[in-house]
Structure 1
């Protein structure tokens, strides 16, 4: 299956963000017990930390039942900005009666990184 333009852009951003001394990264790495899982991108810092990233580019991809390969010291979803807006809208509709915001723009780490 070929990758979407969104997936390629997210991968490029991940690669650029980790292209520095003391950080090593790789895409689609087999991980976990008996190699049954694949992490979309993994980075290793020479400080001894592993960072795992799951790339999601659509709402259906985000809601997928596929297992998440979150085995790192730090684990992240990486999404394009348009999906963030879809998730905010979807969340607002789901929690409207509770006056609850899952993606609150006031939170320090809620933006695009």
Structure 2
């Protein structure tokens, strides 16, 4: 699970890369079993060359010293760290790896911002990355990059479409699962099933009342028509 701080770094880095004119995606599996990079950016330089940048996000010493493989296979590679962590591990960072420091916006900065802030903080480049040759086949890397982009687009479409993607059976199973968590007999309105059932009942009553009102209106209209038809006969008898 990603921590709140990790998500803040991830969001800020995403927009940082966009501002640099790069295409960016998180959690990209590398070709040739080179691990999974936290963030990968694809940038086209002024001369037309493609520049790949890999970013590894770390928020604690334990995270920094993790045995997980560092996928620094790009032309430029960076650690993205909070200030406190950078101060603690700066001597352990390889010479060719750059460092971006994350700092959150304080309450005053948020209050003075003329527009809502897109990110929870900002990044500062404190150590430049040294260029290296790409460590994997570029065609294979491009395929992995596109595949990860598709994954994110697919996730966004699923979120937009919401529950309509799920079958009735799936929704019913989820409803039953949540209802089994614990039934509150004293406050039924706190129970998901009761709330759902009550809303359905209200909708049914409203629909029936609407139908009844329509039938009554139709009945009254027919009575008026019948009254008009019989009115001449009544005049002749008088």
Q: Same fold (TM over 0.5)?
A: yes
Aligned counterpart, 1:72: 74
Q: Deviations over 1:2-30 (max 9, x none)?
A: 21011011101101101147410000001
Return the structure number with greater strand share. Answer: 1
Aligned counterpart, 1:4: 3
In the comparison of the two structures, how many residue pairs are matched? 93
The equivalent position to 2:55 in structure 1, one of 43, 53, 56, is 53
User: Are the equivalent residues in 2 in contact too, given 1:43–1:50 (CA < 8 A)?
Assistant: yes
Secondary structure at 1:66 match in 2: coil
Aligned counterpart, 1:42: 40
Following the alignment from structure 1 to structure 2, what is the Cα–Cα distance between the partners of residues 21 and 85? 26
User: Are the equivalent residues in 2 in contact too, given 1:58–1:83 (CA < 8 A)?
Assistant: yes
User: Are the equivalent residues in 1 in contact too, given 2:22–2:43 (CA < 8 A)?
Assistant: yes
- Specify the structure having the higher radius of gyration (Cα): 2
RMSD (Å) for aligned C-alpha atoms? 2.3
TM-score (norm 2): 0.36
Query: Structure 2 vs 1, CA of residues 38 and 111 (structure 1 numbering), >3 Å: closer, same or farther?
Result: closer
Unaligned 5+ segments in structure 1 are: 89-101, 104-108
Moved more, 61-70 or 15-24: 15-24
Return the structure number with greater helix share. Answer: 2
Secondary structure at 1:28 match in 2: strand
Query: Structure 2 vs 1, CA of residues 64 and 20 (structure 1 numbering), >3 Å: closer, same or farther?
Result: same
User: Are the equivalent residues in 2 in contact too, given 1:32–1:71 (CA < 8 A)?
Assistant: no
